[in-house]
Amino acid sequence: MKRSIFGIAAAAILATSSFGADYVMKISHVVSSSTPKGMAADYLEKRIEELTAGKIDVQVFPNSQLYGDADEMKALAMNNVQLIMPSLSKFPSIVPQIQLFDLPFLFRDKDHLYKVMDGEVGAKLKSYVDAKKQMKAFDYWDAGFKHFSSSKKAILNPEDAKGQKFRIQSSKVLEAQFKAVGGNPQILPFSEVYSALQQGVVDATENPLSNFYTKKFNEVQSSLTLSSHGYLGYLVVMNQQFWDKLPKDLQEKVSIAMKEATEFERKATEEDDAKIMAGLKKYAEESKRLEIFELNKEQIANWRKVMEVIYPEFYDVIGEDLIKKAIETK
């Protein structure tokens, strides 16, 4: 059910009294509504309400309005929010094996990525989440490959990263990745990235294009390097108790809506990248405040060489077998 920003606090308090609905499902996320994840959350709201004829009232809270990175997992465990879709890099304290997705240069391309996500490796990782009993794992959603950006020095070769302060998500793999090139990684919640870049708390970061553009990081970074060195995706998770309480027929409808939303989200990401690139190029030309760089084969090989050395460090945490299985997935 749609509401204004001003109604959010009231909605959060009165969430159980939605008119005519048997259940209230709050969805919280940290990105803009215009990202593929944001659009898919809104799509999910619409489809669940349609398919259940309003028996489930879905309320979406974007932009960390309800919960940010630090508290959304806890809020889900306590059933204060019923569905979230955190980035895979935010699961390590619960399921450290999920850091597999953070390994730099792991995926050859999108086709390889989807085969890993939707195949044996992805299923195994979801089973670790389900085993925690507090949350039920649904589908993997996509944000795309990540790119470096900086306000200090354009990051074209590994040496350029030396001494730069990088904002990272809460993942040990990401920490190791930047330490491997002499960078100083600092964990910050997504909601604080713009001001941290603006005030020079950090110099640089890594993002998929949708997050970079919709949060206007281009205003506070002077260079963007299309490095595709790592990946950012999501896992949609529901509070287990909320799911268990839904009658079978509503569970089936939620599952149908979820499947449709996953297709919608992945397609939106595919389509988004080209549109955003056009927007960023225009911004760069007009403002003269952003330079966009592409890497040649040799530069990519240099990055791969210095970053891949971190893999063995994570054999125990992630599972050497799982990493090898992901690499060998055809």
Residues in contact with ligand LMR by the rule CB under 6 A: 30-31, 87, 143, 169, 190, 211
Minimal CA–CA distance to 295: which of 104, 156, 105, 150?
156
Q: Report yes or no: 227 and 106 within 8 Å, Cβ to Cβ.
A: no
- Axis crossing angle, helix 110-117 with helix 120-131, rounded to the nearest 10: 40
**Shortest CB 73 distance to ligand LMR, Å:** 12
| Exposure string over 151-188, b if 16+ CB within 10 A, otherwise e | bbbbbbbbebbeebbbbbbbbbbbbbbbebbebbbeeb
Residue 107 or residue 166: which is nearer to ligand LMR going by CB?
166
**Shortest CB 164 distance to ligand LMR, Å:** 17
50: enclosing H helix or E strand: helix 36-51
The sign one gets for the Cα dihedral 114, 95, 102, 305 is negative
Q: How far is CA 129 from CA 72, 94, 235, in A?
A: 15, 8, 10
Residue 51 or residue 155: which is nearer to ligand LMR going by CB?
155
**Shortest CB 134 distance to ligand LMR, Å:** 20
Residue 147 or residue 253: which is nearer to ligand LMR going by CB?
147
**Shortest CB 52 distance to ligand LMR, Å:** 26
Residue 211 or residue 225: which is nearer to ligand LMR going by CB?
211
Q: Report yes or no: 284 and 225 within 8 Å, Cβ to Cβ.
A: no
Amino acid identity, position 106: L
Q: Report yes or no: 80 and 59 within 8 Å, Cβ to Cβ.
A: no
Residue 18 or residue 63: which is nearer to ligand LMR going by CB?
63
Position with the least CB separation from ligand LMR: 87
Q: CA-to-CA distance for 85 and 95, rounded, in angstroms?
A: 15
Residue 169 or residue 329: which is nearer to ligand LMR going by CB?
169
Bridge-partner residues for 291, per DSSP?
223
**Shortest CB 225 distance to ligand LMR, Å:** 17
**Shortest CB 190 distance to ligand LMR, Å:** 3
**Shortest CB 139 distance to ligand LMR, Å:** 15
Locate tokens 């491997």: which residue?
180
Q: Which residues contact 199 (CB under 8 A, 6 or more apart)?
A: none
Q: Report yes or no: 26 and 66 within 8 Å, Cβ to Cβ.
A: yes
Q: Report yes or no: 27 and 84 within 8 Å, Cβ to Cβ.
A: yes
Residue 150 or residue 169: which is nearer to ligand LMR going by CB?
169
**Shortest CB 197 distance to ligand LMR, Å:** 12
Residue 52 or residue 211: which is nearer to ligand LMR going by CB?
211
